[in-house]
Amino acid sequence: MTKLGRGLEALIDSGPESIDKTTGITTIKIDKIAPNRYQPRKKFDKKKLQELANSLRENGIIQPIIVTKRDETKYELVAGERRLEASRLAGFDSIPVIIRSVSPKEQLQFAIIENVQREDLSAIEEARAYQQLNEEFKLTHSQISEIVGKDRVTISNLIRLLKLNDNIQQMILDEKISSGHARAVLQVNEQLQEDFANLILKNNLSVRKTELEAKRIKETGSVHKQKPETIVIPKLNEYEKKLIDSYKTKVTISGKENKGRIIFHYTSEKELNKLIKALEKK
C-alpha cells in the first residue's frame, strides 16, 4: 500500500519525468484536462470559487495543478480541482501543471487528502470516499485511517452514515444537520429515522438534545411525544367517576395504572375550601 502520510509532496517528488526537466512544470490547455473521476467533493461554494477566480486573474496561478496522462492528448486531474475550476471561471485558456503517473487508487487517495486537509468535504462526501477505498480498492478501515491521518473509529463512524436513507444524507450534504446529529439518528429504528431527522430540523435541536431524544424514541418507539392526557385506560375512567361522585367536583386521571397523576379541578375559592375539607376527612 502506498504511504501518503506526507501529503501531496510525496506525489510531486516522485514519478516519471515531466516535459520540462528543469522545473517539472509544463503548460497545457484547460480543455485537455478531464476532472478527477474519483473526486469525492460534489458541492462547491460558488462565492469562494469566484473569489479564487478573481485572485487568479489578478495574481496568476502560483501553484500548478497535478495531472496524469491518459493518452497522447488527454490528461486527468489528480489534485488541484478548485484551482482548475477557478481557472476556467477566470477565462484562462491554459494552466501550469505537473504531470505524474498515478494509479486510480492513488488518484482517489490524493483527492481525499487534499480535501480533508482543507476540511472541504461534507461528512457524506468523506464517507463515500472512504467506502470506495474500502470496497473498490480493498483497503481496511485501519489502512484508510493511516492514509488520511484519522483514527479508525472516526473512519468507521463516517462510513456508518451511509446506512441512512438518501433524504437524510442530503440533509447532511446541505448542512441542515451535522454528522453528530446523524449518528444519533442512526440509533433509532430505521422506519423512524427520517421523522426523527425532520424533528431535529423543526426544533433546531442541539446534538446533546438530539442524543437525549434518540434515547427517548428507543424507549417509547415513537418520535412524537404523547401527552399524558391523551392516554385512555378504561379502568382509570372508572376510578375517575368514583372520585367525581365522592368529591362533587371535576377530576382528571392521566397516566398508567402503576404511574400517573390525579387532578382536582375547582372554579372558585369556595369550591377549593370545600374540596380541601373533604380531602382532610378521608
Helix (H) or strand (E) holding 261: strand 259-264
Which residues are 34's β-sheet partners? Answer: 76
Instruction: From 140, 132, 76, select the one nearest 109 (Cα to Cα).
Output: 132
**CA separation for the pair 80, 254 (Å, rounded):** 64
81 annotated active-site? yes
**CA separation for the pair 143, 138 (Å, rounded):** 10
Segments of 89-220 assigned E as strands: 94-99
**CA separation for the pair 240, 164 (Å, rounded):** 46
DSSP per-residue codes, 168-215:
HHHHHHTTSS-HHHHHHHTTS-GGGHHHHHHHHHHHT--HHHHHHHHH
Q: CB-based contacts of 277: which residues, under 8 Å, 6+ apart?
A: none
Active-site residue, selected from the candidate residues 51, 58, 81, 271: 81
As given in the structure block, the three cell numbers for residue 42 are: 460534489
**Residues marked as catalytic:** 81
